[in-house]
Amino acid sequence: MSTFLLQSVIFLGAAILIVPFIKKLGLSSILGYLLAGVIIGPFGMSLVGGNGQDIMHAAEFGVVMMLFLIGLELEPKAFWEMRKSIAGLGMSQMLFTTALLFGLLNFTDWSWQTSLAVALTFSMSSTAIVLQTLKEKNLSHSVSGQASFSVLLFQDIAVIPILALLPLLTEGQPESAKDQHHSFFADQPAWIQAISVVGAVGVILVVGRFLVVPFLRFVAKAGMRELLVAASLFLVIGVSALMQFVGLSPALGAFMAGVVLANSEFRHELESNLDPFKGLLLGLFFLSVGVTIDFAVIFMDPVTIVVMAVGVLIVKFGVLFMIGRFFKMSQDQNFLFSFGLSQVGEFGFVLISFCNQLDLIDTVINAKLMAVVAITMTITPLLMMLNEKLIDPFFGVKTKTDEEGEIAEFEQKHKIIIAGFGHFGSTIGRLLRANGIKATILDNNSDRVELLRNMGFKVYYGDATRAELLKAAGAEEASILIAAIDSPDINRQLIDMVRENFPKIKIFSRARNRFDAYDLLDLGVKNVYRETLYSAVHLGEDALVEMGFRKYTAHRQGQRFIKFDEDALERLGEKRHNMKEYVLSMKDEMEWQEQLLYNDLEQNLDLSDKSWDSDALKDNFQKTA
């Protein structure tokens, strides 16, 4: 077996074994890849010799693909609408963090070029960790979530000029950099090189706009998914090769190509085709980084590494917190924003490796910086937990005073608790209040809590998945808990916790779709309400009326349809794990329901029975008058 194939088997096997274990601990998959690389590397089991450079060359393409997909997500119109927050939050974070770190690193014996390169690297935060954490906590649309996205977006874009700047910091182009970035025009006069660069950018813009989309349409007509996958890879590789040919970063070309295609109808198809390749290649990249971490160097000077890691976290937290105050974030949102972005991100590994290849940093510094990045990323979940348990309870909205100036604790406890007060939960709350039923309302979006309080709702800020909060809200005496949180995963966490700690309370749960409903039924929840079912049936009823059905008849048929569908839900849920059997059962259920509804319609087709169809009665009265 060739060395490359053997290394590939070892790398992939390590990832498959280690990464799922790390994910179960609630940590980032990136840390799993790094740990797997350490285990199989020269400082672990020594299963791969050297630095795994063969794999590294292939894996670096994952970075290029990541930047293409980032460009693809930057729809120009949406990007323009966010320009103020991206420029304000993102640019100020990058500039202040880089300036402070650069000033502190100048007290070391490093050159100013090395200090600047490291400062730029450490100013980056982890897109993977931050966005995943916000998604898991259902905070993506909060003020801190939107601010974090703006900063991360600016950082992702900033990677391109940083990659272009780093070679300019080298004092005399090192041989390794020459080999890596050699281009066809390298020996030509400067004006020819400039024309070649402008020409390459123009080719990407023109070809992307006028040729690539027709080309993808032509490929799509073949009806073969594998050809679209091949066309997607061909596009990224071709653009990268063109940019390298003229002496520019392949990542820059990939990013530009993504932006050009962001408005095309193939945007989502390209994303879905390339995302598995990006994830795998990036995983291999981080594995390779783990292999190259020199623990012998780290153990020689652990104090310096720990001091650097803590210093970076403090500096970034301080800068982010000041920015949050300037942009008038509430205290709890500002703490979440600052803690969430205080680590050094995955692009830190990319930039450190690039700096090492350019000889901006030596092998010893490279190992130390890699360790600093890994430590800050590892500690982020702990910082978020610290914020949630110890800091947030003292700075959240629930500490703010109400109109009477008293602390807004749980002054009253009601028989109904609503967890999640977005569009779904607030509709339930309004209906209950309109009928004289009061409920204790919980939501973990502080801005929404503040808004709803101003509208007259008694809403409390807090994470409903915490047993102590539900106990304080009166869950032990309450009759009904309405689980109306937007995220199905968090809703399931809530239900698990409630069934374990408050077994007497009756649970009414929101479900996004049929398959979410199946999962809730498996948890023992009997009262499951699908978002799409009732509104879809209501629309169908209106369509029947428009086609000539009486309103009473259409409503009766809609209600019977809902009953039949809900009765079939549990039967079908038991078979969903066998897709072939599930499809056959679903088909039989649909045919049976349609026959029952048709029979009911035939039996009740009495045109003189208007029931409560007031419009039909009015029409009849006008005709006889």
pLDDT for res 169:
81
pLDDT for res 136:
63
Q: Which of 177-181, 318-322, 490-494 has the lowest mean pLDDT?
A: 177-181
Closest CA to 243 of 272, 187, 205, 269: 205
Task: Report the alpha-carbon distance of residue 401 to residue 501 in Å, rounded.
Answer: 30
Q: In the 8-state DSSP scheme, what is residue 166?
A: G
Cβ-contact 53, 118 below 8 angstroms: no
Closest CA to 120 of 74, 161, 168, 82: 161
Average confidence (pLDDT) over 175-182: 46
CATH architecture of the domain formed by 59-392: Up-down Bundle (1.20)
Cβ-contact 52, 291 below 8 angstroms: yes
Q: Which of 9-23, 202-216, 467-481 has the lowest mean pLDDT?
A: 202-216
Bridge partners, residue 461, by sequence: 443
pLDDT for res 315:
94
Could you read off the pLDDT of 399-433 as tens digits, one per residue? 443 333 333 455 567 888 999 888 888 888 888 88
Number of helical H runs and strand E runs in the chain: 30, 6
Cβ-contact 206, 213 below 8 angstroms: no
Task: Report the alpha-carbon distance of residue 348 to residue 353 in Å, rounded.
Answer: 8
Given a cut of 50, whether residue 180 has pLDDT beyond it is no
Task: Categorize the per-residue pLDDT at 314 as very low, low, confident or very high, splitting at 50, 70 and 90.
Answer: very high
Comparing 59 with 39, which gets the higher pLDDT? 39
Q: What are the structure tokens assigned to 83, written together?
A: 């320009």
Closest CA to 243 of 252, 234, 235, 231: 252
pLDDT for res 72:
74
pLDDT for res 100:
94
Given a cut of 70, whether residue 488 has pLDDT beyond it is yes
Average confidence (pLDDT) over 167-174: 64
pLDDT for res 404:
38
Task: Report the alpha-carbon distance of residue 566 to residue 560 in Å, rounded.
Answer: 10
Q: What are the structure tokens assigned to 100, written together?
A: 């402070």
Could you read off the pLDDT of 506-555 as tens digits, one per residue? 999 998 888 888 888 888 888 888 887 888 888 888 888 888 888 888 88
pLDDT for res 52:
47
pLDDT for res 122:
93
pLDDT for res 254:
75
pLDDT for res 619:
61
Residue 229: what residue type? V
Average confidence (pLDDT) over 460-475: 80
Given a cut of 90, whether residue 187 has pLDDT beyond it is no
DSSP-assigned states of every residue in 328-357: T--HHHHHHHHHHT-S--THHHHHHHHHHH
**Domain 416-615 fold:** Rossmann fold (3.40.50)
**Could you tell me the pTM of the whole model?**
0.59
Task: Report the alpha-carbon distance of residue 459 to residue 482 in Å, rounded.
Answer: 14
Task: Report the alpha-carbon distance of residue 44 to residue 47 in Å, rounded.
Answer: 8
pLDDT for res 440:
86
Task: Report the alpha-carbon distance of residue 388 to residue 382 in Å, rounded.
Answer: 10
Task: Categorize the per-residue pLDDT at 171 as very low, low, confident or very high, splitting at 50, 70 and 90.
Answer: low
CA 396 to chain centre: 24
pLDDT for res 203:
78
Comparing 412 with 504, which gets the higher pLDDT? 504
Average confidence (pLDDT) over 216-221: 77
Given a cut of 90, whether residue 562 has pLDDT beyond it is no
Q: For the chain, give the mean pLDDT.
A: 76
pLDDT for res 148:
87
Could you read off the pLDDT of 57-106 as tens digits, one per residue? 555 666 677 677 777 766 666 666 677 778 888 899 999 999 999 999 88
Given a cut of 60, whether residue 175 has pLDDT beyond it is no
What percentage of the chain exceeds 70 in pLDDT? 76
pLDDT for res 607:
46
Q: Which of 81-95, 170-184, 281-295, 322-336 has the lowest mean pLDDT?
A: 170-184
Domain boundaries defined on the chain: 59-392, 416-615
Cβ-contact 248, 200 below 8 angstroms: yes
pLDDT for res 408:
41
Q: In the 8-state DSSP scheme, what is residue 528?
A: E
pLDDT for res 614:
55
What percentage of the chain exceeds 90 in pLDDT? 8
Spatial strand order in the sheet of 416-419:
459-461, 440-443, 416-419, 480-483, 506-511, 527-530
pLDDT for res 545:
85
Could you read off the pLDDT of 318-369 as tens digits, one per residue? 999 999 889 888 787 888 889 989 989 877 877 887 788 788 888 888 888 8
> At residue 256, what are phi and psi to the nearest 5 degrees?
-65, -40
pLDDT for res 400:
41
Average confidence (pLDDT) over 438-459: 77
Question: HSE-up of 256 (CA within 13 Å, CB side)?
Answer: 24
Q: Which of 3-7, 51-55, 199-203 has the lowest mean pLDDT?
A: 51-55
pLDDT for res 323:
92
Q: Which of 266-270, 283-287, 406-410 has the lowest mean pLDDT?
A: 406-410
Q: CA distances (Å), 242 to each of 86, 184, 199, 249, 525, in order?
A: 30, 10, 10, 10, 57
Q: Which of 73-87, 135-149, 216-230 has the lowest mean pLDDT?
A: 73-87
